[in-house]
Amino acid sequence: MCIKVKQLVSAHSVKTINHIEYYSMSKIMFPCGLIFVLLNLLLDVGGTISQGEIAKHLELGWNFLARGQLQDALTQYHAAVDGDPNNYLTYYKRGIVYLALERPKLALSDFNKVLELKPDFTSARLQRAQLLLKQALFDQALQDFNDVLAVEPNNQEALNGIYLIEPTKNDVYKAKVFAQKGGHVEAIQLITDIIEICPWASELREIRAECHVALGDYMNAVSDMQSTTKLLTDNTRGFYKLSVFRYRLGHVDKALAEIRNCLKLDPEHKECFPFYKKIKKIAKYLNDATAAEESRQFPDCIESAQRVLKSEPTVDNVRFSAYQILCKCYTNNNEPSLAVKHCQDGLKIHRHSDLLCDSAEAYLAAEMYDDAIREVKEALEIDPHFPRAKELLQTAHQRQKMSESRDYYKILGIPRSASKREVIKAYRKAAQKWHPDNFPDPDEKKLAQKKFIDIAAAKEVLTDEEKRAKFDRGEDPLDPESGKHQQGFNPFHEFQHFQGGSPFQFKFHFN
């Protein structure tokens, strides 16, 4: 595209270049096409400003424009306009830059000023007509196209514009009727076609967004409302709706950012301000819960997440985030039954692979191995390559197998989250109770010996980081069949009796 424009710059008139520019703008805004339109204007129209400083701004603006640095070019044209507010060509150049930046409202303002200063500037009138058509302002666009044809009866861009106006105007009417009568799919399809011709029609994008919402498609609704906030710089209603749509998606922090944009424009906005107060509170609770989970302050995590559920009784996607947090925190707080409950509450909203794995871990904590395996398999159906699910499935199978043998946590009566100090404390208590010297009866002594061996084994595994990690993965590091047990393990090595002491007089040595 740029090569063609360069070739035409040297061979054709302003009119020809404007034809090319109209074509490029009717599809996609190509900065290179705009650059050479301006180059041709500089060559053919002239109008060099005598004031040195203004001329310098114009020169810098052109240099930035030639390099595609549109914002820098805009800064220079602002300065040039301020220095000479009666130069129509400077307004025109700035208007073209606004178009390239997709800021139609400001571009329209500049083209209006150009035609106020120089009503016979046909290129500006044609640009304004095209801009009005892109905004679906059909009657105003038609007037400008007709004014161009009055001067240039064969102007193809004006003829093409007029040809598009009437059928597009009828389609807009039909789309609005569809939307009002509940034909949301039909309205969306029709507006999508119209936007090919009128990409800067903010009203149409808002109507399409509402149709997406009616169909439960908040993602596409967000996309359309984002466009309206860019097309209309003071669009408080757009920011409000965008915030609402993001909130309904469960994107609370993003919703908070959008509602703040509304309040920047109107701090007392009757819809934005109360909504801001609500989502600010929800965002705080969610962030507090997440921070508490990360710092392993599980009771605090649970309290903050419960506040989310209390404050937001209806929006499922927001509640989903709270359920997911509660699922993990209850599991880590050794409350597996409550963990399972909140996992399942969340899964009723979304069968999300991460939450399915969280649920599997809650089931594992509750020793419900079949349920854990079921959840992990479903997660793998959603994402067959999900590493966490693969690992959990292996762990669940191994723990299910181990459940038929000894469980070191159960032996000591401690949760899986117990610290090393808690392990030693539980071991000491159990060892005191079940040391064989406490049982003079031969049968009781035999039972106590077996229990004591299991207690000492539990202590050995759970106080050794490497062995405990293997056990948590579902592997018994002391299982003789695994070939990984410690040779020469002697549970009675833990106790050294005092010489001639009673059965209760023994010392503990903790490694």
| Secondary structure (H, E, C), 284-295 | HHHHHHHHHHHC
Residue 189 pLDDT: 97
Distant-in-sequence, close-in-space partners of 493: CB < 8 Å, separation ≥ 6? none
Residue 404 pLDDT: 66
Do 2-164 and 411-508 show the same overall fold? no
427 touches 411 (CB < 8 A): no
Alpha-helical segments (H) within 152-251: 156-180, 184-197, 202-214, 218-231, 236-248
Distant-in-sequence, close-in-space partners of 415: CB < 8 Å, separation ≥ 6? 334, 409
Q: What angle do CA 366, 343, 279 make, to 5 degrees?
A: 145
379 conformational bin, left if phi > 0, alpha if psi -120 to 50, beta if neither: alpha
* Cα 11 to Cα 33: distance, rounded to the nearest angstrom: 15
Closest to 205 (Cα-Cα) out of 244, 237, 252: 237
Domain map of the chain by residue range?
2-164, 170-252+263-268, 280-408, 411-508
The model's pLDDT over 487-509, given as tens digits with 9 standing for 90+, comes to 444 554 444 433 333 333 334 44
Q: What angle do CA 184, 132, 182 make, to 5 degrees?
A: 10
User: What is the b/e burial string over 226-263, where b = at least 16 CB atoms within 10 angstroms of the residue's CB?
Assistant: bbbbbbbeebbbbbbbbbbbbbbbbbbebbbebbebbb
Residue 295 pLDDT: 95
* Cα 29 to Cα 33: distance, rounded to the nearest angstrom: 8
* Cα 116 to Cα 85: distance, rounded to the nearest angstrom: 12
What's the predicted TM-score (pTM) here?
A: 0.68
Torsion of CA 116, 122, 123, 124, to 10 degrees: 20
Residue 65 pLDDT: 82
Residue 496 pLDDT: 43
What is 2-164's CATH number, 1.25.40.10, 3.40.50.720, 3.20.20.210, 1.10.3720.10? 1.25.40.10
Q: Which residue has the tokens 């090393």?
A: 420
What is 170-252+263-268's CATH number, 1.10.760.10, 1.25.40.10, 3.30.160.20, 2.40.160.20? 1.25.40.10
Fold of the CATH domain 411-508: Helix Hairpins (1.10.287)
Fold of the CATH domain 280-408: 1.25.40
Which stretches of the chain score pLDDT less than 70? 1-51, 404, 443, 447, 480-511
Q: Which residue has the tokens 């920047």?
A: 264
